[in-house]
Structure formats: C-alpha cells, structure tokens
Amino acid sequence: MAHRNPAHPLRRSALALQAAWLCLSIPASVWAAGPTGLLNDTGQTQCNSGTTYTACTPANSGRNAPLPGQDGRFGRDAGTPSKVGGGAAGFDFTRVCMNGSLSCQGAANTGATPSSGDWACTLDNVTQLVWSLQSGQGEWTTYARQTLPASTNSAARCGYSTGWRLPTRHELLSIVHHGQSSGPSIDSNYFPATQSWGYWTGDVYQPNNTMAWFVYFGGGDAYAVVTTTASGYVRLVHNAP
C-alpha cells in the first residue's frame, strides 16, 4: 500500500485547503474575540437611548435596537468582575505607599518626596502598571523624559529606584474613564488631583517627529502636540514586577 507523504507539496496544499474550509465552516460566534488580558475596559457602563444616557437594555442597544452594540453592554464594565482592590466600573486599583507596601490609608501625597507610609502611587491590578501620583508639569524633551524620571528614581518612589518612565499613549489611555460624568475622565478616588488637561506620553508622532502624543483628560482624547513649545502635565508609570 502506498503511504501518503505529508511533506509532499500536493499533500501540503490539500491540508491547507482543508484547514481553510474548516475555518469557514466554524460559526462566527466560536471565533469571537475573547479576553486578551492586561487590558482595561473604558469605564462606560451606560448606553445612549437616542436622547440621554441610561442603563443598557435590549430595547436601546440590542441587536435590533436603533443604536445596537454599544460599549456599555460589553466587557468588564458590563459584568461584575472580582477585584483585588477597588475602582469604578471594571477598573481595579490598589493604593501603593511610598515604601512600596499596599493599601495605604489617608490622602494622597502628590509631592516629590512623600513619607514612607504616604499614599504615593496607584497599582492597576488589570494592566499591572504602577502609576505615580506626583503632580508634574513641564516640557517634553528634558523635563518629562529625563528630569522627572531621574528624580523619581532617586526618591525610590513606591519602592522603585529605577524604571520610572513616560507611559505610552495606549498605557495612558488605559486609565481614561469614559463613563465619568463630570471632572477629569479618570477615577479620581485612585488618581486624585488629576487635571482636565493634556498629559504627555513617550510616543513620538510619527508623521512629524517634532510632536508627541498628548492624552487630554478633559474628555479622554489623544492628539499630537509640538514638543518644543507646549507644556503638559506628566504622570509617570512603572512596570510592576
């Protein structure tokens, strides 16, 4: 009896066609994207009824509704996820002390050199990023990228003496709370003193390298700003171990 050689070109082509047919024959629901991990939801828990924002129902956002498939119906925000810490909607945050211990009490210290037991950072338990609560403001090239990270490392903020940096655009957008009805678009219980203005990211705007990406916490938008003239707020980030 002749044996089929799976390495033969014709055999490989047949296997490829078989795999392609299999993909096409599987219902789309099976291929629907599942949780990807390390991603926050948007914080939006309501749906647009056409005139106002209200609780999501099949009538206002179901498949046959005038405005179907709205964000508020899906993801962590729409469920009741278990949390390590706390936070609005699907967000899950924990307070971090200056010395690196968790679950600090009392008001945040947004200065440069908090005491060891002061609340100085916030840990995002979903993305595993640690955010400094220090209020910084300045230009991008020297202050935001060099001076503030260096001084934050020197102070060993929240137990880290190296590794503090500007966030990427996507990292900073991950803490935007689009369901916030007033004030800055962020959970102010874990990010107090946030300004409704632009915060620098470390991402250069590729079409023009004299510009960098800004995330505007007045509404959660991202846009490019000229680095040589603009002054923005700075929120540094650190990768959790």
pLDDT tens across 80-124, in order? Answer: 889 999 999 999 999 999 999 998 999 999 999 999 999 999 999
pTM to 2 decimals?
0.83
Strands in the chain per DSSP E:
46-48, 53-55, 93-97, 119-124, 129-132, 136-138, 198-204, 211-216, 221-226, 232-234, 237-239
Residue 235 reports pLDDT greater than 70: yes
Q: How confident is the model at residue 2 (pLDDT cuts 50, 70, 90)?
A: very low
14-32 mean pLDDT: 35
**16 pLDDT higher than 50:** no
Helix residue ranges per DSSP H, 103-196: 148-154, 169-173
> So what's the pLDDT on residue 229?
86
Give the whole-angstrom CA distance, residue 38 versus residue 178: 18
Mean pLDDT of 155-166: 98
Confidence band, pLDDT 50/70/90 cuts, at residue 9: very low
Question: Average pLDDT, stretch 198-227?
Answer: 96
Is the pLDDT confidence value at 3 over 70? no
C-alpha separations of 68 from 14, 31, 76, 167, 168 in Å? 41, 20, 18, 34, 32
Place of tokens 């599942």: 34
Question: What's the Cα-to-Cα distance from 16 to each of 24, 27, 57, rounded to whole Å?
Answer: 12, 19, 43
